[in-house]
């Protein structure tokens, strides 16, 4: 079964440092999402790509977060500088249109960030 790959699985960093997360979506999925999940809460969308273009980054803190998907395949999410409140699970998902007609998301295992 095709999977969304994410790395690293775990990252511990000190505040003010830079961190980066990588995602490789399921082959052929044009839509890619980055979500942030704070412990005990549901995922919240940070950024959505359609191929290499950003189609929604309204909830991305652009002063410190950036995301790119240069060739429309894999993607990188960067945080610089990291703050204590950035500690969370960062989930990548890719989507394809399902039988219901809506975009069905498949999530990766996530990258857990701890900022000290």
Indicate which single residue of 2, 8, 18, 41 sits in contact with another protein (rule: CB under 8 A): 41
Taking the complex as a whole, how short is the minimal distance between the CB of residue 88 and another protein, in angstroms?
A: 13
Number of residues in contact with another protein under rule CB under 8 A: 26
Q: What does the block give as tokens for 109? A: 């295992």
Taking the complex as a whole, how short is the minimal distance between the CB of residue 80 and another protein, in angstroms?
A: 24
Task: Report the 3 state secondary structure along the chain.
Answer: CCCCEEECCEEEECCCCCEEEEEECCCCCCEEEEEEECCCCCCEEEEEEECCEEEECCCCCCCCEEEECCCCCCEEEEECCCCHHHCEEEEEEEEEECCCCCEEEEECCCEEEEEC
Stretch in the footprint of another protein (CB under 8 A) among 12-20, 68-76, 80-88, 92-100: 92-100
Stretch in the footprint of another protein (CB under 8 A) among 11-19, 64-72, 74-82, 103-111: 103-111
**What residue ranges bind another protein (CB under 8 A)?**
4, 31, 40-45, 48, 50, 55-56, 91, 93, 98, 100-110
């Amino acid at each position: 079964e095709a999977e969304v790959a994410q790395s690293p699985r775990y990252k511990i960093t000190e505040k003010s440092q830079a961190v980066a997360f990588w995602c490789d979506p399921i082959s052929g999925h044009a839509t890619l999402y980055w979500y942030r999940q704070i412990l005990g809460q549901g995922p919240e969308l940070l950024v959505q790509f359609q191929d290499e273009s950003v189609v929604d980054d309204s909830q991305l803190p652009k002063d410190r977060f950036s995301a790119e998907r240069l060739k429309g395949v894999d993607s990188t999410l960067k945080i610089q500088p990291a703050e204590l409140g950035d500690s969370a699970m960062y989930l990548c998902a890719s989507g394809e249109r399902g039988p219901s007609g809506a975009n069905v998301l498949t999530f990766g295992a996530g990258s857990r960030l701890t900022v000290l």
